[in-house]
Structure 1
Amino acid sequence: MLGDVLLIADKHRSAAKEIVSEILKIAKPKIIICVSGESGSGKTELSHCIGKELVKNHNIPTKIIHSDNYYSTHPKIRNKWRLENGLDKVGINEIDWKNLIKNVHDFLENKISQMPCVDLVPDEVDMLTTDFSKIKILIVDGLYAINLPSDLSIYIDLTYHETKKAQADRGKEKSDELRWQILEQEHKNVISLKEKANIIINKDYSVTWKK
C-alpha cells in the first residue's frame, strides 16, 4: 500500500532477526513467507523488518506484497457493499484469492507480473509491475495471508482490542461503530487461521516456534 504509516519499534526488529535466522536455513530457490494478524498487530512492520534484514544484512532480494491490495471491492465502496450485503460477509472471502495466487505463481515462475497497489491518499487502486526473476523471497502480509501455502507462516497473537492505540496512530480507517463491528468480524476470521501458523508472535513480541 502507498501512503501507509509504519510504527516500527525495537520489538519488530528483534523478532525479525530471530525469524530471519530460520529463513536462512530454508534450502529452496524461491521462498514464500506469510504474515497474518489482526488490525494494528504490526504485521506490516514485522514484514518490513524481515525484508530489510534479508536485503540489507544478507543481500537476498526480497519483495513484500500486501493482501489488503487484493480485496474484490474497491476501497471507496467497500463499506457500502458490506452494509448492503451484510457484515457477515466481512472476512476471508472478500479477498480476490485467484488474483493473489496468480501473482504468487508468477513469483515462483520468475515472471514479470502486474499487481494491484492501493494508494491510501486518494483511495485508488494503482497497478504495479514487478520482475519476479530478480526476487528470491516473497513476503505476503495481511489479515488472512497465512491462508496461502507457504514455507513459513507467521501469526501475530494480538487482538484488535489490544491494538487500539496502534490503529489510532496509523489512522488508516475511520473509528466508529461500523469499524468496530468490522474488526470483530475480521477477528473471527483471522483467529480461525491461527492453527496454520508455524511461528507465533506472542503479545510481548517474543517468538514461539510451533512443533
Structure 2
Amino acid sequence: MIGDKIAYHAAYKPVTDFVINKLIDKLNKRQRICISVGGESGCGKTSLTYALLKDIEATTNLRGFIFHADDYYVLPPRDTHNLRIEDFSRVGTNEVKLNLLEININEFKNGNTDILKPLIVYDENVILEERINSMDFDFCLVEGTYAMLLENSDYKVFMDITYEDTRPVRIQRARDIIGGIAEKVLEIEHEIVKTHKVLADVVIDKNIKIIN
C-alpha cells in the first residue's frame, strides 16, 4: 500500500503489551503466526498494526511483515468509489479478494520464498504487484475492514469504533472522499462490520481500552 504515512503511536502500547503477552510463547518458539486487526474505516487499524509490528520486533528481535487488505481490492480506490455511486449494493466483502489474501497469508506461514501480491498506489489509482520472500520475516500482520473473516489468522484484534466516531480523523487524513455518498458507504460497511466483533480474540473501544 503506497500513499499512507504511518507513524508509531505510544497510546497503543497497553494494547500491544496485552497482545504480545498472549502470543509470547508462540513468538519465542518462532512459530510463523499471523495477527489480524479489523474494524471500520478510519478507526486506527493501520496505526495499531504498525505499533504491534514495532513493539513485537522490539520485544522479540523477530521481523514482521504487514499485509494491507486495501491492496486486495478488486479495483483501485477511485474506480471502486465510482462503481459504488452507481450501485450501493456493491459495497461489501465482494469488493475485496479475501481468498487471495488468505492464500498469501498461508504462503507466508508456510515459508514460501516467492509470494506475489497486489500493491495499490493511491496517488496513481493503480494496482501493481510486488514479490516478497516470507523467509525474510518471522511473523505477519494483516489489517483491513474485513480482517476478522480471515481463517488463516491466529489472533484477531477488533477495533470497536464506528464511522461516526472517526469522522474527524477521516477528514484530517484526507484520503477518503468525504460527503453524503461516502457516509452512505460507511453506514453500509458499519452494518456489515459490527457483526464481526464476535469473531475477535480481543476488542478495543474508542478510548483504546481493552473491553473484553
Q: Check whether TM > 0.5.
A: yes
Structure-1 separation of matches of 2:181 and 2:5: 22
What is the aligned counterpart of 2:63 among 58, 61, 67?
61
1:21-60 per-position Cα deviation (integer Å, ceiling 9, x unaligned):
2221335621011100111111100000000111233211
Shift of 1:121: 1.9
Tell me the alpha carbon deviations over residues 166-206 of structure 1, each in whole angstroms, 9 at most, x when there is no partner.
11121111211111011101111111211100100122111
In the alignment, the residues of structure 1 paired with residue 126 and residue 135 of structure 2 have an alpha-carbon distance, to the nearest angstrom, of 28
Q: Distance in 2 between matches of 1:153 and 1:21?
A: 14
Residues of 1 paired with 2:202 and 2:98: CA distance? Answer: 23
Specify the alignment match of 2:95 in structure 1. 94
Alpha-carbon distance between aligned partners in 2 of 1:182 and 1:8, rounded to the nearest angstrom: 29
Match for residue 127 of structure 2? 125
Give 1:154's aligned residue: 157
Aligned-residue sequence identity (percent) comes to 25
TM-score by length of 1: 0.91
> Aligned to 2:201, which of 193, 198, 201?
198
Out of 22, 36, 49, the residue aligned to residue 51 of structure 2 is: 49
Over 6 Å off, 4+ runs: none
Question: In structure 1, what is the Cα distance between the partners aligned to 2:196 and 2:161?
Answer: 13
- Per the TM alignment, residue 14 of structure 1 is displaced from its structure 2 partner at its CA by 3.0
Q: Spell out, residue by residue over 1:57-79, the C-alpha distance to the aligned partner (whole angstroms, 9 max, x if none).
A: 32112111111111112323112
Distance 1:105 1:148 in 2: 11
Task: Give 1:5's aligned residue.
Answer: 5
Structure 1 range deviating more: 195-204 or 97-106: 97-106
Cα distance in 1, alignment partners of residues 33 and 106 from structure 2: 12
Note closer, same or farther for the CA distance 1:30–1:155 as it changes in structure 2 (3 Å cut): same
1:78-117 to 2 correspondences below 5 Å? 78-84=80-86, 86-111=87-112, 112-117=114-119
Which amino acid in 1 is paired with 2:15? A
1:126 deviates by 2.1
Figure out how many residues of one structure are paired with residues of the other and give that number.
208
Unaligned runs of 5+ in 2: none
* RMSD after superposition: 1.6
1:174 to 2:191 alignment: no
Q: Give the conservation status (yes or no) of the 8 Å contact 1:38–1:143.
A: yes
Tell me the equivalent position of 2:73.
71
**In 2: Cα distance, 1:185 partner to 1:95 partner:** 15
TM-score normalised according to structure 2 size: 0.91
Q: Does 1:188 align with 2:191?
A: yes
Question: What amino acid sits opposite 1:56 in the alignment?
Answer: A
Q: Would you say the 8 A contact 1:64–1:139 is kept in 2?
A: yes
More moved, 74-83 vs 19-28? 19-28
Q: State how far apart, in whole Å, the 2-side matches of 1:141 and 1:62 are.
A: 13
**Separation in 1 of the partners of 2:47 and 2:185?**
22
1:162 aligned counterpart, secondary structure:
coil
Larger deviation: 93-102 or 144-153? 93-102
Deviation at 1:89, TM superposition (A): 2.1
